[in-house]
Amino acid sequence: MDDISITHKPDEASGTASLANTRKVYVKTYGCQMNVYDSQRMTDSLAAEGYSPTDTAEDADLVLINTCHIREKASEKLYSALGRLRKMKDARAKEGRELTVGVAGCVAQAEGDEITRRAPVVDLVVGPQTYHRLPQALARVRQGERVVETEYAIEDKFEHLPAPRKEQTRSRGVTAFLTVQEGCDKFCTFCVVPYTRGSEVSRPVAQILKEAEKLADAGVRELTLLGQNVNAWHGQGADGREWGLGELLYRLADIPGIARLRYVTSHPRDMDDTLIHAHRDLPMLMPYLHLPVQAGSDRILKAMNRKHTAADYVRLIDRIREARSDIALSGDFIVGFPGETDEDFEATLQIVRDVTYAAAYSFKYSPRPGTPGADMDDHVPEAVKDERLQRLQALLSEQQYAFQRSLIGKTMDVLIEKAGREPGQMVGRSPWLQPVIIDVHGGEIGDIINVRIISTGTNSLVGVREMETTSDGTI
């Protein structure tokens, strides 16, 4: 759940051309990939209502803000965006042109009615469990109602939302996200997710396979399975047995056309043997795992309700590395959780040294209203959090830099995703998710080619094509 802010680009090939120029929707997405996926689902369900996507609010008849509540300032950000929209709406009213404003996502779920009370500009509030009701909600807005839809729906929203299409994918159709699980029952004491996204729900196997096959048919080569707690996914397999994520990955690996699999985000407690074996047995399961530990002190891990110790985590990493020696890890860390002493923080630095990360996200603890952490004693002063974050990030950057440097001279499979800026240049993805700039003529989007790395940036790689067959047989 890395923190990104993505604007939904118009989807030229969305098949709604005949309805274009009727009404336009602009979706602004904050937060994790789950929100990116949801924004696309909402855009799709609105296409059926005659809305075509646009990438500016000025151009839109409907603006939807898909919010994230995971860390602080989420509501401040939302209310300042709504302030700007209010001005736009007022200006339009003078021209006799309408603007409908909706708030979706986790802040919508958490604050519901409060949003319509505080921001009269808002016509519509929808929580993540009710996106499939968006068209009906909009119809009610058109009748003059202000709508708040944050009840947990009994019906399965995935059944009611349109299936994804090739074009909505992360990069020109060769990579795609597929949500397999939502919500969380872990109740880490710092986290709002169990409250905003609700308890854990896994999508059924048949539904996932159908969506994956459809994406493969449309030319998708890399699938990233999404879930707040993706490795807690479980379901009844085709063989009648209860499957975990490992079994699901073995099955997805059989889908023709799919050449790469990934999954995000995982909890250490749900890394079962089958999932670890999948890393051993499936070369197409990319050797890059986001496995947050949050802190290195057992006392803090206990207070966070992570239900594992630092030693448990390190042992787990050892087992995963035994299964797949080239695996690289990324993690999430929180500094300044209530009660964290200098010694506790040192333990976080130590676990980072012991594990070694290729990439990481690190945050200052931010008390989330309604979570147990917010009510704990001994909150850490902001200045101390700042200083710890700086030290942790310095160490993590060093490790990221070392990982980047370690790839120079190595060859690796790269999935070509798009044309580069210069003529003859392409941009692809390494197995470890880095963008790779390749000076290559003749490579096609969707090809997996063998590349030798010649230099690196902070996160990107630069390579040249090696003229040999790659592991999946493409040249």
- With CB cut-offs between 5 and 8 Å by kind, which of ligand SF4, ligand 5AD, none does residue 365 bind? ligand 5AD
Interacting residues with ligand 5AD between 295 and 354 (CB under 6 A): 332, 334
Give the Cα separation of 438 and 461 in Å (integer): 9
Q: How far apart (Å, rounded) are the C-alpha atoms in residues 70 and 32?
A: 9
Is residue 151 a known part of a binding site?
Answer: no
3-state helix, strand, coil in the chain (%, to 5): 35, 25, 40
Decide: is 363 part of the binding site for ligand 5AD (CB under 6 A): yes
Q: Which residues contact 165 (CB under 8 A, 6 or more apart)?
A: 14, 15, 44, 218
Q: Tell whether residue 68 is among the known ligand binding residues.
A: yes
Phi and psi dihedrals of 14, rounded to 5? Answer: -80, -5
Compare residues 233 and 243 and give the one whose CB is closer to ligand 5AD: 233
Footprint of ligand 5AD on 364-423 (CB under 6 A): 365-366, 368
* C-beta separation of 262 from 231 below 8 A: no
Name the packing angle between helices 273-281 and 310-323 (round to 10°).
Answer: 30
Q: Cβ distance 141 to 165 under 8 Å?
A: no
Binding mask 71-90 for ligand 5AD (x = CB under 6 A): x-------------------
State the binding partner of 334 from ligand SF4, ligand 5AD, none, CB within 5 to 8 A by kind: ligand 5AD
Q: Does 180 bind ligand 5AD (CB under 6 A)?
A: no
Give the nearer residue to ligand SF4 in terms of CB position, either 30 or 51: 30
Q: Which is nearer to ligand 5AD, 335 or 426 (CB)?
A: 335
Q: Which of residues 127 and 443 has its CB atom nearest to ligand SF4 in the complex?
A: 127
Calculate the alpha carbon distances from 192 to 126, 189, 248, 366, 426 in Å.
17, 8, 28, 11, 40
For 372, other C-beta atoms within 10 Å of its C-beta total 16
Piece of 173-181, 359-367, 431-439, 444-452 that binds ligand 5AD (CB under 6 A): 359-367
Among 292, 338, 443, 446, binds ligand 5AD (CB under 6 A): 292
DSSP state of 350: H
Q: Compare residues 186 and 452 and give the one whose CB is closer to ligand SF4.
A: 186
**Residue ranges for the binding site for [4Fe-4S] cluster?**
32, 68, 106, 184, 188, 191
Residues that bind ligand 5AD (CB under 6 A): 1, 70-71, 190-191, 292, 294, 332, 334, 363, 365-366, 368
